[in-house]
Structure 1
């Protein structure tokens, strides 16, 4: 059976999309874990699941994937801890998130809507776009 170039190309696109989606989830989780540590001093799966609006099972499975990626550590009945890599990713995700929110607010989007919309936008902006958003927000707000 011959391999069709269009199938291979489409397969590559789907693979990239799945990888990107996996990265988005990882970023959202480590950002939430960092927030919960900041607020509560610890992050447990039950609280993380509530924060992200997912089931306990989904949160457990995702945390297991984060452990395998070296972003968090945990043990049964123990809090979730970010590794150095996880902390770096959480800081980067938070900074991107804040840039997008500030930009949306600077163009007149109400804060509540900007916060909700930023959840989807933040993962799909290139560094160049984020830099331009930050520059625009800084010049508009000063």
Structure 2
């Protein structure tokens, strides 16, 4: 499925490599995860729980909500 979606390429007798589109998607996923974890930590959630909860939240949170999380984080960090 990843190859059909253009996210990976495979070279014979070698490893599987991310395409540019695959790298962009992977970075977007990492970014979503970091934002959700940071937001949960700012609420006082312990790190282990924040990481675990972020695994579920990051796949369902809308772009609008993610941007709101980022905005709230910026406000929180600037008020410290």
Q: Is 1:125 paired with 2:61?
A: yes
Correspondence for 2:44: 108
Rg larger in 1 or in 2?
Answer: 1
- The two structures have a TM-score, normalised by structure 2, of 0.88
Please list every run of at least 4 consecutive aligned residues from structure 1 whose deviation after the TM superposition is greater than 6 angstroms: none
> Over residues 31-52 of structure 1, what are the superposed CA-to-partner deviations in whole Å (9 max), with x where a residue is unaligned?
xxxxxxxxxxxxxxxxxxxxxx
Structure 1 residues 6-45: aligned runs within 5 Å: none
How far, CA to CA, are the matches of 2:21 and 2:59 in structure 1?
Answer: 18
Q: CA RMSD of the aligned region, Å?
A: 1.3
Residue matched to 2:4: 68
In the aligned structure 2, how far is the partner of 1:141 from the partner of 1:110? 18
User: Would you tell me which structure has more helix in proportion to its own residues?
Assistant: 1
Structure 2 gap ranges (5+): none
Q: How many residues align?
A: 78
The normalised TM-score by structure 1 is: 0.52
Three-state SS of the structure 2 residue aligned to 1:109 is coil
Q: Which runs of 5+ in 1 are unaligned?
A: 1-64
Worse-superposed segment, 129-138 or 70-79:
70-79
